[in-house]
């Protein structure tokens, strides 16, 4: 069984990541949170304001990176709404 923590495989999939937008959103949020956790420890940040600034900066960075790669959650949302509308 594959146990690589960087590229986890589920029993239901042979690909490391799902193309489902909800999983992508969760993964992006987790990445930003882990970046914040890492930087809080590395920089010994204390208090709500410095940690909040770090968190906002990391969320912004992750969103910018996704946008640079052509991934925009609003695009997924519009596609899903359109798909549901046309199916009904």
pLDDT digits (tens, 9 = 90+) for 49-68: 999 999 999 999 999 998 89
For residue 19, what pLDDT is reported? 58
Q: How confident is the model at residue 40 (pLDDT cuts 50, 70, 90)?
A: very high
For residue 21, what pLDDT is reported? 66
The overall pTM is greater than 0.75: no
Between CA 52 and CA 58 the distance in angstroms is: 10
Between CA 82 and CA 80 the distance in angstroms is: 5
Between CA 34 and CA 81 the distance in angstroms is: 31
Q: How confident is the model at residue 72 (pLDDT cuts 50, 70, 90)?
A: confident
Please report the sign of the dihedral spanned by the C-alpha atoms of residue 5, residue 29, residue 66, residue 39.
negative
């Amino acid at each position: 069984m594959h146990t690589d923590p960087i590229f986890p495989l589920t029993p239901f999939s042979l690909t490391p990541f799902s193309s489902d937008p909800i999983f992508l959103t969760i993964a992006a949020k987790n990445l930003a949170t882990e970046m914040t956790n890492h930087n809080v420890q590395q920089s010994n940040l204390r208090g709500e304001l410095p940690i909040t600034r770090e968190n906002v900066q990391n969320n912004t960075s992750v969103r910018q990176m996704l946008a640079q790669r052509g991934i925009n959650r609003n695009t997924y949302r519009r596609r899903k709404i359109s798909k549901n509308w046309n199916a009904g």
